[in-house]
Chain A
C-alpha cells in the first residue's frame, strides 16, 4: 500500500522533473540544480539516534555527550554535501545497446565519466526495473553501466528515463538525478517455435553444381558485400586497386533460401514475422545464405552477421499498416 503510493509519487516527481529539464543532450554534464537528495531509511535512523543522544545529553547536562551528538550531526550534514557533490559535474553519455528479441531484457549501456581531480564513489544507474551494481570512478576515469528494460514488443524500444544515483559516503543520504536521453534499442520479433514450418528451399545454381569439387577449390572472385568474412577478402586484389573482392571457393555457397512473407498465408502479421525470424535464425546458424522478401521490401541473398542483423531489423520495424517498413535509420 505504502510502497504503491511511494511508487506513484516517484513517477509523478519524475514526470515533473522531465517537464522541468526536457530531453537531455548526449552527453550531459549534471549540474547541481538537477540533483535531488533525501535521507535514506538509514539516515532517518541515524537522525533518530542523534536526537535521542541530544535529549539525553541535555537532560544530564553532559557537555561531552552533547559534543558527540553535535559532531555526529555536523558530520551527517557534511556527508549530505559530499553525497550531492559526488554526482554534480558527472558527465553522462549513451553507449551502444545490443538488439534483443521480444521477451528478453534490453540492456542500455550508459557511460559515466568523472572529469574532476577527485575520485567519485558508489555511482549507480537504474530505473524501476532494477539498479546496477555501484561503481567507483577514479579521477578522469570512466565506467559503463547498464540499465535494463524488458523488451515486451518488437520495434524500436526507447529508453524513456533512468536515474543516476549515489549513496556515498555513509548510506545516510541518496542523491539522484533523472535523465531523459534519446536512446533506443531494436527489438526483434520473438522467434517462432523451431520446426513449425520448414523454410522453402531454393538451390543456388552456381554453388550447388560445383559442390562436389570440394571446399578448397578456388572458383574466382566476386564483389564484396557487407557481412562477408574478412578472411575471404582478396587483399592482393585490393592492393592492385581493383576494389574489395571476395574469394569464392567451389561449394562455399551451399544451400540458399528465399524467406518470403507471401509463403506464410493464413497467419497473423506477428506470427508471420515470428516465423520469418525463426527461419533467419536457423539459416544463419546453419551458415546458409538467405534473402528476405517482405511486402515492398526485398533483401537479396547473402550471408553473415551483418546480413542477419539487417533482415531482423527489417522484421522488427515492419509496419503492417503501411504494407511496408520504415527504412532502418
Chain B
C-alpha cells in the first residue's frame, strides 16, 4: 500500500485508521469535562497518549513493544497513587480511568481494543455526571454519548457504514430506548443513603468559610455563582429583612473570628411577626450550613439540626444540590435569660486592640445603657469618615485598632468585626454572624437567587429587654448595600460581579430565564428522589407504593417495551408486497393449480396459458385475452389503470 497519507484526505485512510480517529475523538470529548478536576500531569500524559497513537497510525509506525507498554502503565499507576494517595474515590478513580484509557490506546490494534476504549469513554461520562449535574453540560455529555454509540456501531460493521446511516440508526435506537429509560428512571426505587462509604471529595468547598479575618487578603467572594435559591410560599420578606444566617462566630484572638467549640443549652424564641414558609435549594458547598432566613422556627429534624446560637446545620456536608423546607420569622423575642456560659464567651476580648477598648469604655460612659451605646457606635460609623469598599488596605496586628483609627476603609467584615469588638469591650454580649444578605428576585421562576457576591457579615448583641438583636453596622455606612445590593453601594471604579451584564436589560432577562430553567432542571431531575416518586405515584392513583409495587410496575414496563418494540420492528421489516399485476397473475395460477393445471417452473405466461387453453378449450378466448393484457401490462410501453382493472375482472370471472 503506497502513500496511505495521500492528498485525497480522510476518504483514502484505511478503515481501521478511520475508526481509530473516531474513537480517539470520542475519548477526547469524554475526557475534556474532567480537565479542570484532573492533575495537570495526567492531562498532559493523556494528551501525549492520544497524540502518539495518532502519529503512529498516520505514519504507519509499529506500536511500542509490550515490555515498554507494561512499564509505562505501571509508572502512571504509581504516579496516580503518588498524586492522590489512593486509587479509591471519585478523583483518583477518574484520574486512573483517564490515564489507563490513554495508555490502552498505545496497544489498540483490533476492534476489541477500540471497544474497550469506547467503554472507558462511556465510564468517563458517568464519572462526569458524578462531578457536575448542570444543565449546561448536558448537551455535551449527550452528544458525546451519541457519538460513542455511533462509533461503537461503526466499529462493529465489516462492511463500511456511512456516518449518516450510523447516526440515523443509533439515533432511532436511542429514541426507542428512551421510554424504557424514562420508566426505569421514574420508578426504580431510590435508596435513602449511601450503601458504601467513599472518601469525600477534598478541597472543593466554596462560598463562606467558617472563620473571618478582616484585614487579611480579602476572602470575600467576588463570584457571580449562585449560592442558593429560595422559593417562598406566600409573600417575600422586604429586602432589608433578607438576612440568611450561616456560621456564628464567637472566639476572637485579636485578628480572626472563629466558631465556638463549646456546648450550651439552646434558647427558645417566640415569633411576633409573620411566619415565612419557603423552600431553600443550596448549591453544593461541602459544608453543613443551611442558610435559613433570620430566625428559623421550623425545620426538617431528620436532616438538619439547630445549634445553641441558632445556626441551622445539615447532618452531612452538602455535596450535591439539596433542598430544605423551612419556616422562619423576622420578628421574634427570646424567652428567658442569657445562660452565663454564653455570656462568658461572648464578652471575651482578650489582650488585643487597647485603643478600641478605651474607645468602647468612653462611648459606654457617655451613652449610659447598652441600647444607647449601640446607637452611638452606629452614629460614629455613619457620621465620621468611614468608607465602604471592597478593596480595603491590609491591617496591622491589632486589626480593630488599625481599622477604626487609621485605615477607616472596609466592607461588612471590617464593620461587623469592629462593632462586635466594641460591644464586647463595653460589656455587652456580642457575636459575629456570617451569611448572605439580599437576593435577586427571578420573576420567571418566582424565586430569589442568592449569589456568592451577596455574602455578608453582621453582629448580634444581647440586650436584656429584647434578647439577641441583629445590628448591621454596614447599613450605617452604606445603607444602599442592604436595600439594593453591593453594586449600588460601591463607586463605579470598583469591580462588581455582574455590573457589565446589569447594564443591559435583555442580558439580565436572559440570565434570569437561564437560571429559572436551571432551577426547574435541578428540582425535577437532579433532585428527583423518593419523595417525588411517591408524589408521582399518588398522581397516578397509587397510594403508599412499596418496593414490591414498584418492582411489578417495572416488570410490566419492560414487558410493554419488549412487545411494542418487537411489533414495531416486525412491521418495519415486513416483506415487500408483490405489485398488483404480479399478484393478479399469481391468483390465476393458484386457481388453475387447484384444478390440476399448475404452472411448471420453466413455463412463461404465454406458454402456460396456451397449454391451459389446449386442455380446456372452453376457456381459450378469455385466457388469450388475459395473456395479452398481462403481457401488455408487464412488458408494454405504459401500464394503464383501466387495463389492470380489466385484467382483475377477467381473472375473477374465469370459471375454471
Using a CB–CB distance below 8 Å, which chain A residues touch chain B?
A: 32, 42, 45-46, 49, 53, 56-75, 77-79, 81-82, 85, 88-89, 115-118, 121-122, 133-136, 139-140, 167-171
Contacts and interface: CB of A to CB of B under 8 A. Distances in A.
A65 B129 contact: yes
B114 to A, nearest CB: 11
B551 to A, nearest CB: 15
Contacts of A134: 158-159
A78 B173 contact: yes
Contact of B576 (A45, A46, A68, A116): A116
A258 to B, nearest CB: 38
B496 to A, nearest CB: 33
Given A49-B119, A59-B198, A171-B156, A68 B125 contact: yes
B130 A70 contact: no
Given A59-B195, A67-B185, A140 B115 contact: no
Contact of B574 (A58, A63, A65, A116): A116
A170 B562 CA distance: 19
Contact of B178 (A57, A66, A71, A89): A71
Interface string B525-560: 111110000000000000000000000000000000
A56 B126 contact: yes
B191 interface: yes
A67 B181 contact: yes
Contact of B161 (A89, A121, A135): A121
A140 B158 CA distance: 20
Contact of A116 (B145, B152, B178, B573): B573
A73 B181 contact: yes
Nearest to B195: A59
A46 B573 CA distance: 27
Majority secondary structure, B binding face? helix
A79 B149 CA distance: 11
B130 A56 contact: yes
Interface stretch (B336-344, B365-373, B564-572, B640-648): B564-572
B93 to A, nearest CB: 9
Contacts of A75: 149, 173-174, 177, 181
A140 B561 CA distance: 29
Contact of B126 (A32, A53, A117, A135): A53
Nearest to A42: B115
Contacts of B126: 53, 56-57, 65, 68-69
Contacts of A57: 126, 129-130
8 contacts: A57-B126, A60-B320, A61-B190, A68-B141, A68-B145, A88-B570, A116-B576, A135-B158
B194 interface: yes
Contact of B320 (A59, A61, A169): A61
Contacts of B125: 68
B561 to A, nearest CB: 7
Given A49-B119, A61-B320, A82-B569, A169 B133 contact: no
A63 B526 CA distance: 6
Interface string B138-168: 1001000100010011001111010000000
Contacts of A69: 126
A66 B418 CA distance: 50
A76 to B, nearest CB: 8
B185 A70 contact: yes
B122 A49 contact: yes
A80 B589 CA distance: 41
B194 A59 contact: yes
Contacts of A167: 156
B417 to A, nearest CB: 39
A136 B157 CA distance: 9
B203 to A, nearest CB: 18
